Amino acid sequence: MKSYVELPYQRVADSPSVKYYTAWNVFDEYILGGRPAREAGFDRELLSKLGVKPDYVVTPSTPVEAPVKWPREPDRRLEAFHFSNISSSIEVHLEDSDAVVLLEKPLEGFHASHLNVTASGDSSLALLLLSPGGSRGLSTVSLHVDVAPGSRLRLTYAVFEARGSSTALMQALSVGEGSAVSQRVLLSGGRATLSELLSSLTGAGSSLSEGVLVAGLEGSSTTVVTDAVSSAARSTVRISLLGIATSGYIAHKGVVRVHRGASGSRASLSSRLVPLTQRARVYSFPSLEIESDDAEEARHSASNAPLEPERIFYLRARGFSHSEALRALLEAEARRALGGVDARGELVLPLAEHLLDAVTAELQ
Amino acid sequence: MIGHDGLYVDSLRVSVNGRLVLRGVTLHVPRGRVVGLVGPNGSGKTSLAYAVLGHPLYRVEGGEIYLDGEPLTGLKTEERARRGVFLAFQSPPEIPGLGVRAFLREVAARRGLSLEDGELSSYLRLVGLDESYLGRGVHEGFSGGERKRLEFAQALLFKPKVAILDEVDSGLDLEGVRLLVSKTRELAEAGAGVLFISHNPHVLQLLQPDEVVVLVGGEVALRGGLDVLEEVVRRGYPGVRG
Amino acid sequence: MSKLSLLEGLTLDQVSLDSVGLRARVTLSGRISRSLVEELSRAKKEPEWMLRLRLRSLELFEKLPMPNWLVGIEELNLEELAHYIQPDVQRASSWEELPEEIRRAYERLGLPEIERKALLGLAAQLESENVYLAFRKFLEERGVILMDMSEAVARYPDLVRRYFMRVFPPSDHKFAALHGALWSGGVFLYVPPGVRVEAPIEAFFLIASELESQMEHTIVVAGEGSYVHFIEGCSAPLFKRYSFHNGMVEIYAHRNSHVKFTTIQNWSRNIVNFNNKRALVEEGATVEWVEGSIGSKISYVYPSAILRGEGARVSIANVTIARGATWKDSGAKVYHLAPNTASEVVSKSISAGGGVAVYRGLVRVARGARGSKAAVKCDSLILDKASKALTYPRNEVEEEDATVVHEATTGRLSEEVLFYLRSRGLEEREARRLVVLGYVGDVLGRLPYEYRLVLSKVLELEFEDIGGYA
């Protein structure tokens, strides 16, 4: 592999006015001069509040227990850095089963880990990366998720950063024939949080429903990339993201790509970014690349706007205080982005509550 | 002045975006009474309703608003709501993701009321909405008539001191209007002062309010009993051609 | 020789944004010498400042990097390019020289004599036609300046200097720099404050020859409170001898003015078209860009606006046809820099026969631009298996009290709609035609009546040969 320092951050610039939508310079600090982490931790209070006991705990001392699978040769700096420095990896087989993976956050330095996940039957996986308060470390984690034909998988990722911590989460998900994946991602960004969720719908009749909730608190920089590629007939992709920036920076990028042959496929991407104060910055770059007239539906919509004043007034006219009205409306938007609540969605609600609590607290 | 109960609006002047929309309006909606407010489109009826609720874009340039003798100016919207002022919006916003059930419970809680599902459904049924509406988003995908019904159901549910009903009759069929009229009477009998805003004088004829106020161009053009209504039906609004 | 790379049989993987970084950049062969530029300037008898601008642009052209997102161009021969800049190179063509398909199109379109003459480049004759003479007189009486850019540089140097390449400087990108060095022809239009020119200025007929060149520079200055509608191009297909076009349009809309700029381009299939368009919109002013891009093989056109004054507004409407092995890259860029500014973008593209239609947009709202609103709607219609649509919109918002909304739909002709129309007695072909016209209707509606008519006919001709259409 070419030395990763020589590789570009991205294949192409993001816009004529702002070259990169990602805070690559923060990651560079670790790439160019960081040290592998020794100590790591997690937010104990939050974990106990969630009332969940992890089946796997990945720390800097976890060895490489599984081969690292990835669909593509890394050609970008951070990606190559990550794959060159993987020190922990685990294999998770789900067969009509559920698993919770707790990934500890380095307090200083970086920790690169990898998960190989295979799922069949009716399964679920939760990945929790709940940073302890004072962490200043970088976690880079790659997930290779393979969903066997005819299965259902629920994925829940939660990355809650401390002010000084950073994360690069990269997912390569492949959905087999007739399978359905329902993914919920909750992020509260830190110094630099990058989440690249790449999904390939390769099997006919496969479906992906992705709901992302992002909180951009003060001083944070969060970039979420939701890419979906469909090359199979009758596949369905629905991606919905809600980003709430109190005074942080949130960027949502994503390409929905539909190849020839994906007849009867449906793809929709919706991005809602809400700036709550003058210092918030919200960028969106939802793209569509459609080849041929096979697709039945391919659309996206983006809205970068504050909460509607008429709705705020309506709730206040019913007795809600201004901040209560904001909270109620943010919850309403979050519910829409995260979709309906599944029977087994016990983690999503409390995680979302936690995010909204943090947002509301910052607004006071 | 301070002795008036219910809603008392005194020489109110209100502007929006620098434009004067109310030019010194005085009216009194006593508790237990129904006052009908009519006027052509753009006469300032909704502006009056919004000003009473303290909408941020509506600036009070002069005059005063009292609830049971206490001035409301300077109070935040939610404070006015909690003190018992209720507005049924002419065009209520959709709030997808906020369920009707959760919403009604929250609002009730702020009025010191705790409501069970059974009670909520019964109020909805009163206005002709079945309990499936409890599971929907507030006004989400509701037709015009359904929105009016949900607004009116809230008026009945929250037992306000003063209820301003802004065009709750439009979009309703004959049966719906009859129901509305009888429930409005009941609301007043239960002790609320009701300001019934409509641009349709015929509905008011059915309602038989205790007083009728005609608003034209941001001012009170006529005031009186049902005879005023007949005047308007026969000759149109004063000062308005055609 | 300049070389275009194959646009046939391109797959999505090859054209995807992701693969851009992996594509080879365009190579330049030959060079443009300082002496060529100096000679050009001397022949036009330009003042010192214009020569300096050209030379500075040439330097920038040599320094600036080649954009890596260009598709379809493998190599550009600079000397070949420079050839057509020469003032004496023959442009007028005769009927026999026109390619067969263009001649046929003219006949089918049933154009009036006057337009045929214009199309044949017999511009000089045209300018003396009475109806246009009268209009010119009318403009003169109101103090409107409308003339060839070179003439304007000579007669109104101070005025032109205030505006020439100010909103679109040569440092912006490599092709802007190339334009700055070699520009020739184009129109200078100045409308004095308070003057409203209600009838559209149809540049093609009034000053056709000036717009013939391949790097024309057009400036429209609208004084405070004025109104003008400028239309360039025409719907009928045009044959050009040169193969690379790199024009520029700058609009300066002063306080409370209103400028509408319509471009209809239906050039022959041998052309690569760059058109750099930008407007500077001051307080309370409105600019409307209407673009109809039908011809040429490869085009890159992004009308843009800088909303600098409070209450400034812009609307950008594009209709783009990518038929056959073509690459049509269009879009809109809007910068909201002041409070209560508003923008609206409507983009409709149709790709057929292997064509690729690309939308690239940017809406940027700076902090402090409170109360700003931006709405973008970009739709793409793909008519067959071989064609593609790529949509790349960007929204960058740094102001809390601003609303930016965006919607994009890529679809095909709805089976249900076609079936419904056929059930009402329309033939498949007629049904398709109606649906396609309805699809672009929003944008077509912004054109003056005659243009709309001809453009609709042109669209019908365009799509007649598509499989399934005939």
Domain-embedded: residue C377: no
Instruction: Give the confidence band of C113 by pLDDT, cuts at 50, 70, 90.
Output: low
Task: With CB atoms and an 8 Å threshold, state whether A321 touches B76.
Answer: yes
User: Which is higher by pLDDT, C1 or A15?
Assistant: A15
Q: What would the two tokens of residue B117 be?
A: 């599902």
pLDDT given for residue C88 in this prediction: 53
Instruction: Give the confidence band of A178 by pLDDT, cuts at 50, 70, 90.
Output: very high
Measured between alpha carbons, how far is C247 from C230 in angstroms, rounded to an integer? 16
Could you tell me if B177 lies within 8 Å of chain A, comparing CB atoms? no
CB pairs under 8 A between A and C: 145
Chain A contact set for C398 (CB, 8 A): 281
| Per-residue pLDDT tens over the stretch A89-131 | 999 999 999 999 999 999 999 999 999 999 999 999 999 999 9
pLDDT given for residue B60 in this prediction: 96
pLDDT for A334 beyond 80: yes
Instruction: Give the confidence band of A252 by pLDDT, cuts at 50, 70, 90.
Output: very high
Q: Which of A313, A319, A335 sits opposite B111 (nearest CB)?
A: A319
Task: With CB atoms and an 8 Å threshold, state whether A290 touches C393.
Answer: no
Which residue in C270, C267, C468 sits closest to C385, CA to CA? C468
| Per-residue pLDDT tens over the stretch C318-338 | 999 999 899 999 999 999 999
**Residue with structure tokens 């302890």?**
A132
Q: Which residues on adjacent β-strands are paired with residue A116?
A: A91, A144
Q: Are residues C153 and C297 in the same domain?
A: yes
Q: How far, CA to CA in Å, does A116 sit from each of A29, B2, C210?
A: 28, 75, 65
Q: Nearest chain A Cα to C356, which residue? A: A291
DSSP letter (8 states) at residue A277: S
pLDDT for C263 beyond 50: yes
Q: For residue B36, give the H/E element and its range.
A: strand B34-38
Average of pLDDT values for C104-109? 72
Average of pLDDT values for C404-424? 85
| Domains: count for chain C | 2
Q: Which of B77, B92, B96 sits opposite A332 (nearest CB)?
A: B96
Q: List all residues 6 or more positions away from C198 whose beta carbon is below 8 Å from its beta carbon.
A: C227
Amino acid, single-letter form, for residue C143? G
pLDDT given for residue C124 in this prediction: 47
pLDDT given for residue C191 in this prediction: 97
pLDDT given for residue C420 in this prediction: 79
Distance between terminal CA atoms of chain C?
37
Q: How far, CA to CA in Å, does C191 sit from each of A337, B232, C185, C263, C448?
A: 51, 53, 19, 19, 21
Instruction: Give the confidence band of A250 by pLDDT, cuts at 50, 70, 90.
Output: very high
Could you tell me if B81 lies within 8 Å of chain A, comparing CB atoms? yes
pLDDT given for residue A1 in this prediction: 45
Q: What would the two tokens of residue C175 be?
A: 């092709």
Percent of chain A at pLDDT above 70?
98
Specify the 3-state DSSP secondary structure of A50. helix
Q: Phi-psi bin for C302: left (phi > 0), alpha (psi -120 to 50), beta?
A: beta
Q: Model ipTM?
A: 0.94
Q: How far is B149 from chain A (nearest CA, A)?
A: 16
Q: How far is B220 from chain A (nearest CA, A)?
A: 25
Instruction: Give the confidence band of C56 by pLDDT, cuts at 50, 70, 90.
Output: very high
CB pairs under 8 A between A and B: 64
Average of pLDDT values for A18-23? 94
Q: Apex CA C369: angle with CA C368 and CA C373, to 5°?
A: 150
**Residue with structure tokens 């042959």?**
A261
DSSP helix, strand, coil percent of chain B (3-state; round to 5): 35, 30, 35
Measured between alpha carbons, how far is C168 from C251 in angstroms, rounded to an integer? 10
pLDDT for B67 beyond 70: yes
| Per-residue pLDDT tens over the stretch B141-177 | 999 889 999 999 999 988 899 999 999 988 788 888 8
Instruction: Give the confidence band of C17 by pLDDT, cuts at 50, 70, 90.
Output: confident
Specify the 3-state DSSP secondary structure of A103. strand
Q: Which of A18, A294, A305 sits opposite C405 (nearest CB)?
A: A305
Q: Are residues C251 and C129 in the same domain?
A: yes
Q: Which of B87, B97, B98 sits opposite A317 (nearest CB)?
A: B87
Task: With CB atoms and an 8 Å threshold, state whether A329 touches B98.
Answer: yes
Could you tell me if B154 lies within 8 Å of chain A, comparing CB atoms? yes
Lowest mean pLDDT among A287-296, C261-270, C418-427: C418-427
What is the CB neighbour count within 10 angstroms for residue C60?
A: 20
User: Which is higher by pLDDT, C467 or C31?
Assistant: C31
pLDDT for C128 beyond 60: no
What is the CB neighbour count within 10 angstroms for residue C252?
A: 23
Average of pLDDT values for C22-48? 87
Contact B67, B86 (CB under 8 A): no
Domain finish residue from C301, C330, C361 = C301
Contact B134, B165 (CB under 8 A): no
Q: Which of C69, C384, C393 sits opposite A12 (nearest CB)?
A: C69
pLDDT for A214 beyond 80: yes
User: Which segments within chain A are labelled E, that is strand?
Assistant: 40-41, 56-58, 86-95, 98-103, 105-106, 110-120, 122-130, 138-147, 152-160, 166-175, 180-188, 192-201, 207-216, 221-230, 236-245, 249-258, 266-275, 281-291, 297-304
pLDDT given for residue C178 in this prediction: 94
Domain-embedded: residue C33: yes
Q: Are residues C125 and C265 in the same domain?
A: yes
Task: With CB atoms and an 8 Å threshold, state whether A285 touches C402.
Answer: no
Domain-embedded: residue C66: yes
Q: What would the two tokens of residue C241 be?
A: 């001898």
Q: How many residues does chain B have?
A: 242
Instruction: Give the confidence band of B10 by pLDDT, cuts at 50, 70, 90.
Output: very high
Whether C and B touch (3+ CB pairs < 8 Å), yes or no: no
pLDDT for C105 beyond 80: no
Domain-embedded: residue C392: no
Task: With CB atoms and an 8 Å threshold, state whether B56 touches A309.
Answer: yes
Q: How many residues does chain A have?
A: 364
pTM comes to 0.89
Domain-embedded: residue C93: yes
pLDDT given for residue C59 in this prediction: 96
| Per-residue pLDDT tens over the stretch C277-317 | 999 999 999 999 999 988 888 999 999 999 999 999 999 99
Contact A124, A180 (CB under 8 A): no
Average of pLDDT values for C136-152? 90
User: Which is higher by pLDDT, C199 or C92?
Assistant: C199
* C9: Cα within 13 Å, side-chain hemisphere: 2
Task: With CB atoms and an 8 Å threshold, state whether C362 touches A17.
Answer: yes
pLDDT for B241 beyond 80: no
Could you tell me if B92 lies within 8 Å of chain A, comparing CB atoms? yes
Contact A186, A352 (CB under 8 A): yes
pLDDT given for residue C91 in this prediction: 47
Contact C244, C272 (CB under 8 A): yes
**Residue with structure tokens 């995807």?**
C16
Q: Which domain holds residue C177?
A: 3-301
Lowest mean pLDDT among A234-248, A265-279, C422-436: C422-436
User: Which is higher by pLDDT, A141 or B99?
Assistant: A141
Buried b / exposed e along A171-185 (16+ C-beta atoms within 10 A): bbbbbbbbbbbbbbb
Measured between alpha carbons, how far is A256 from C382 in angstroms, rounded to an integer? 16
Compute the mean pLDDT over every residue in chain A, rounded to the nearest whole number: 94
Chain A contact set for B92 (CB, 8 A): 314
| Per-residue pLDDT tens over the stretch A312-328 | 999 999 999 999 999 99
Lowest mean pLDDT among A53-57, B122-126, C388-392: B122-126
Chain A contact set for C18 (CB, 8 A): 11-12, 255
| Per-residue pLDDT tens over the stretch C181-217 | 999 888 999 999 999 999 888 887 666 555 667 888 9
Annotate chain C with three-state secondary structure.
CCEECCCCCCCHHHHCHHHHHHCCCCEEECCCCHHHHHHHHHHCCCCHHHHHHHHHHHHHHHHCCCCCCCCCEEEEEHHHHHHCCCCCCCCCCCHHHCCHHHHHHHHHHCCCHHHHHHHCCCHHHHHCCHHHHHHHHHHHHCCCEEEEHHHHHHHCHHHHHHHCCCCCCHHHCHHHHHHHHHCCCCEEEEECCCCECCCCEEHHHHCHHHHCCCCCEEEEEECCCCEEEEEEECCCCECCCCCEEEEEEEEEECCCCEEEEEEEECECCCCEEEEEEEEEECCCCEEEEEEEECCCCEEEECCEEEECCCCCEEEEEEEEEEECCCEEEEEEEEEECCCCCEEEEEEEEEEECCCEEEEEEEEEECCCCCCEEEEEEEEEEECCCCCEEEEEEEEEECCCCEEEEEEEEEECCCHHHHHHHHHCCCCHHHHHHHHHHHHHHHHHCCCCHHHHHHHHHHHHHHHHCCCCCC
Domain finish residue from C248, C272, C301 = C301
Q: Nearest chain A Cα to B107, which residue? A: A318
Q: For residue A333, give the H/E element and its range.
A: helix A322-338
Measured between alpha carbons, how far is C446 from C436 in angstroms, rounded to an integer? 17
Average of pLDDT values for B75-97? 89
Instruction: Give the confidence band of C340 by pLDDT, cuts at 50, 70, 90.
Output: very high
Domain-embedded: residue C136: yes
Average of pLDDT values for C86-115? 63
Chain B contact set for A321 (CB, 8 A): 76, 78
User: Which is higher by pLDDT, B71 or C122?
Assistant: B71
Domain finish residue from C301, C317, C352 = C301
Q: What would the two tokens of residue C218 be?
A: 């057009």
pLDDT given for residue C118 in this prediction: 62
Could you tell me if C209 lies within 8 Å of chain A, comparing CB atoms? no
Domain-embedded: residue C46: yes
Domain-embedded: residue C306: no
C contact chains, 3+ CB pairs < 8 A: A
Alpha helix stretches (DSSP H) within chain B: 45-52, 77-82, 100-110, 117-126, 144-157, 174-189, 201-207, 226-235
Residues 340-359 of C with CB under 8 A from A: none
Q: Which of A310, A317, A334 sits opposite B77 (nearest CB)?
A: A317
Helix axes B144-157, B100-110, angle to 10 degrees: 30
